[in-house]
Amino acid sequence: MDTEAPAPPTRRPVRQLLAASVGNAVEWYDWYAYTFLATYIADQVFPKGADNSLVPLLSTFAVFAVGFFMRPVGGLLMGAIADRRGRRAALTVTILLMGGSSLLVGLTPTYAAAGVLAPVVLVLARLLQGLSVGGEFAASTTFLVESAGPGRRGLFSSFQYVSTTAGQLVASGIATLLVDTLSEDRMNGWGWRLPFVFGAVLSLVGFWIRQGAQETRSTEQQRAPRPALFEALRRHPRESLLICGITAGGTIAYYTWTSYLPTYAELNAGVAKSDALLAGTISLAFFGLLQPLGGLLSDRFGRRPLLLFFGVGFALLSVPLLHSLRDSFAVLLLVQCAGMVLLTGFTSISAAVNAEVFPPRVRAAGIGFPYSLTVALFGGTAPYVGTLFKDLGHSGIFPWYVAVLCLLSSLVYLRLPETAHKELRR
């Protein structure tokens, strides 16, 4: 068995974890705050009675296109910055970009005050958020894994989804608190803006923490010629396709279980909305706690066993788990938590697995574009595909759709070289 050679010394591993994790949590807090408060934003920025035909068009573009489909662009551009200028430089750009776009959402004028300019401003803000989130994964994934000491890449990798989950929970909690404490008029008037202004302030905190982080590129890499924008795709097409295969099953399972399942349970099993949201919140907290355990297990036993645990588990159990849902809070919570256990086999180590595929010269951009593109195609569309099957009267097909994608990714995992105990290329 190959053993991992000592990594370049990291002076402050806790600071490195904080730099990646706090910033990533802020990024996803801002992203999910928009999702949770979308109805209030729509009422103010996309009024139903608007006469201008551009308004519904821009509304559709903002919600469906800008959100997920700007993320591959962000992954490519910010990944290129990380490979050319350094991981820390890219992390600084993404946190400031998200803070600025969050503030822009919070300051977006209403349609009544500014007319069609209001949705244009919001679309611009959402475009910047998509760029930032896509770039954040590329930069923070690379930074986390390269910051890890010997035998700790899986553990450090797991904090990618610890922080993502934390950001989602904080956004949900603040949105719920505001809705419960403010009147409907105040929420529509100014209350929905507060989380975005708060997100901008949090971004400054993340920026300060990241300023003290240590660059993880080796001295040799910093002196090497800078890679071209599409060099990773051009010179490493097999690795790019490999990232797509690794990610496809993981992203459909992740977005189904963490975002769409409450709605799926409401539509197909008659679960009350309040019960569905509560079960979703509890299972998300459980999911966040599981991530370091998955990372530690992968450092001990390897990446491939955990990936196969996830992929084969979902291929076999997606259909029975989703078909077992009924009008019961306990059953829904059990189904969600069971899925979270299986999902941890992918999420806790996806950052490490992706980083171990590419050489350091193009690692961030090599990860960022194919990963974000796959998420946009399969993860971001999961709620719409599930709802479409329901509208067509074939809701039972959706669990099979999830299972097939996880099975296909499992075939990729079977052929994936084991990299847990090998030296990370630097």
What pLDDT sits at residue 360? 86
What pLDDT sits at residue 271? 87
What pLDDT sits at residue 161? 93
Which residue from 119, 101, 135 is spatially nearest to 54, judged by alpha carbons?
A: 119
d(CA 308, CA 118): 47
d(CA 414, CA 104): 45
DSSP string, 198-262: HHHHHHHHHHHHHHTPPP-S-HHHHHSPPPPTTHHHHH-HHHHHHHHHHHHHHHHHHHIIIIIHH
Residue 213 and residue 91 in contact, taking contact as beta carbons nearer than 8 Å: yes
Residue 146 and residue 217 in contact, taking contact as beta carbons nearer than 8 Å: yes
Residue 85 and residue 172 in contact, taking contact as beta carbons nearer than 8 Å: no
Tell me how far CA of residue 382 lies from CA of 154, 250, 386, in angstroms. 27, 12, 6
What pLDDT sits at residue 2? 43
Which residue from 372, 367, 322, 327 is spatially nearest to 342, judged by alpha carbons?
A: 322
d(CA 418, CA 423): 11
Q: How many CB atoms lie within 10 A of CB 255?
A: 21
Helix (H, G, I), strand (E, B) or coil at 1: coil
The mean pLDDT of the chain is 86
What pLDDT sits at residue 154? 93
Residue 148 and residue 156 in contact, taking contact as beta carbons nearer than 8 Å: yes
* Residue that the structure tokens 């705050």 belong to: 33
**pLDDT tens sequence for the chain (426 residues):** 444 444 454 557 778 888 888 888 988 898 888 877 877 887 788 766 555 555 554 564 455 556 777 889 999 999 999 988 888 899 999 999 999 999 999 999 988 888 889 888 888 888 888 889 888 888 888 999 998 888 899 999 999 999 999 999 999 889 888 888 889 889 888 999 999 999 999 999 889 888 888 888 777 777 767 787 788 888 889 999 999 999 999 999 999 998 888 888 888 888 887 788 888 889 999 999 999 999 999 999 999 999 999 999 999 999 999 999 998 999 999 999 999 999 999 999 999 999 999 888 889 889 989 999 999 889 878 878 887 888 788 888 999 999 999 999 999 999 999 988 888 877
What pLDDT sits at residue 60? 47
Q: Token pair for residue 19?
A: 């730099």
End-to-end CA, the chain? 20
Directed axis angle between helix 13-36 and helix 87-106, to 10°? 30
Which residue from 277, 297, 386 is spatially nearest to 347, judged by alpha carbons?
A: 297
d(CA 406, CA 55): 38
Q: Is the four-CA dihedral 326, 248, 250, 15 of positive or negative sign?
A: negative
* Residue that the structure tokens 């591993």 belong to: 13
Domains in the chain, CATH or no CATH each = 13-213 (1.20.1250.20), 230-417 (1.20.1250.20)
What pLDDT sits at residue 4? 43
Which residue from 249, 349, 339, 356 is spatially nearest to 292, judged by alpha carbons?
A: 349
* Per-residue DSSP letter, 152: -
What pLDDT sits at residue 259? 82
What pLDDT sits at residue 197? 94
- 367-393 tens-digit pLDDT: 989 999 999 889 878 878 887 888 788
What pLDDT sits at residue 50? 52
Q: Token pair for residue 379?
A: 């993860």
Residue 212 and residue 326 in contact, taking contact as beta carbons nearer than 8 Å: no
